[in-house]
Homo-oligomer: A and B are copies of this chain.
Amino acid sequence: MITFHISSEDGGARSGLLEVNGRKARTPLFMPVATRGSLRTLSNEEGARMGFQALIANAYHLLMKPGADIIQEGGGLHKYMNWPNIIFTDSGGFQMIRSGFDLKVSQEGVTFRSETDGRIIRMTPEENILLQKKLGADVSMCLDLCPPYPADRDDLIRSVEMTSTWARRCLDVGHDTFCISQGGTDDELRERSCRELADMGFQGFAVGGLSIGEPREDMYRMLDIADGVYPRESPRYVMGLGSPVDILESISRGMDIFDSAYPTRNARHGSVMTSTGMISITNGRYRRDHGPLDQGCRCPVCQDHSRSYVNHLLRARELSGLRLATIHNLFFMSTLMSDARKAIEEGRFDSFKKAFTEAYE
């Protein structure tokens, strides 16, 4: 059972507390991505110590490696990963659909070729939720059908209909599950998708199929639609959204939860988040810059190391360079979320968002 308590509202924005299986996470909430059950350059326990109260893993990837049986034998994902906080799993529908050449999508479910041993795997929406449950996820995500951007209207219609059909069957499994709306950037289809899902009465509502190449204004308009249709008292989750400004815009549109590989993937490419925007720390201009990655940042990397040092490590292809940049970027996101919460609680979210955005962009 997922509970969600909204503690403050400020315009469209709200702060709250998500609770599931005795594990708690304050919202607005950013979840780092642990696709294969790991935070890549960090130990999982470091992520928890950094203040992240939830992460998201990927059921498809974990099914492929190491396999659901092994994770179950190992005590479930929390024990296997040594992660005490909330775990969301994504269904992996997105990956399944793109992983093989023999994929079939039908009312029944998906059929795909395993990337590890080539065998054909059939999976119904129910089986997918049971997989996520078996892995030990606190919160599972519905199997959905996400068309690429741009997509024909017919494909969008099919994705909305299939997603609703599957969502109903996912719901009936009885796990703690969020649904996911589709509909691309088509107002009517997005509204229809959100409404059909809202009518089913899920415990949490995600917005899918965004941040995949569409113009920003279109994305924001879709969030406005979701905000208008999804039940106000439920937690709302925008999947795959990681850019700080987009997250703040989403928060002002009543969204609560976010996940993205944005801070970690950018870090591994030498892109470091600062209060005045992203910098490419491998640039020659930082070779002799002995200041911190971001002036005023309280992360351990900014306390202990210089831009010059991180520049050196990344240019010398030292793994610790990836690690330090990742720690900083994740800390940046964690701080952004707690600053946003505080601003909402103090009734000044709009001016906080404006000030952040102006400095960042």
Residues of B close to A313: CB separation below 8 A: 36-38
Is there a chain B Cβ closer than 8 Å to A43's Cβ? Answer: yes
Q: Which A residues between 29 and 51 are near B, CB-CB below 8 angstroms?
A: 36-45
Is there a chain B Cβ closer than 8 Å to A73's Cβ? Answer: yes
Is there a chain B Cβ closer than 8 Å to A309's Cβ? Answer: yes
Partner among B65, B66, B300, B311 whose Cβ is within 8 Å of the Cβ of A66: B311
Given known A306-B80, A312-B65, A319-B322, contact A288–B42 (CB-CB < 8 A)? no
Contact of A320 with B290 in the complex, beta carbons under 8 Å? no
Is there a chain B Cβ closer than 8 Å to A104's Cβ? Answer: no
Contact of B45 with A309 in the complex, beta carbons under 8 Å? no
Is there a chain B Cβ closer than 8 Å to A304's Cβ? Answer: yes
Residues of B close to A81: CB separation below 8 A: 309
A66 to B311, CA, bound (A): 9
Q: Which A residues between 56 and 81 are near B, CB-CB below 8 angstroms?
A: 61, 65-66, 70, 73-75, 80-81
Identical copies of this chain, number: 2
Contact of B39 with A320 in the complex, beta carbons under 8 Å? yes
Partner among B37, B66, B312, B320 whose Cβ is within 8 Å of the Cβ of A43: B320
Is there a chain B Cβ closer than 8 Å to A82's Cβ? Answer: yes
Chain B nearest CB: distance from A72 CB in Å?
11
A287 to B323, CA, bound (A): 26
A321 to B320, CA, bound (A): 14
| Residues 301-331 of chain A, each 1 if its beta carbon lies under 8 Å from chain B, else 0 | 0001110110111011011111110010000
Contact of B80 with A320 in the complex, beta carbons under 8 Å? no
Contact of A318 with B36 in the complex, beta carbons under 8 Å? yes
A65 to B311, CA, bound (A): 10
Residues of B close to A45: CB separation below 8 A: 300, 304
Contact of A82 with B305 in the complex, beta carbons under 8 Å? yes
Contact of B320 with A38 in the complex, beta carbons under 8 Å? yes
Chain B nearest CB: distance from A57 CB in Å?
12
A81 to B44, CA, bound (A): 24
List 7 additional A-B contacts (Cβ < 8 Å) besides A36-B316, A73-B308, A319-B323: A36-B313, A38-B316, A38-B321, A42-B323, A43-B324, A43-B327, A74-B308
Q: List 23 A-B contacts (CB under 8 A).
A: A36-B316, A37-B309, A37-B312, A37-B313, A38-B316, A38-B321, A39-B320, A41-B319, A42-B320, A43-B323, A45-B300, A65-B312, A65-B315, A65-B316, A66-B308, A66-B311, A66-B312, A66-B316, A73-B288, A74-B306, A74-B309, A82-B305, A319-B322
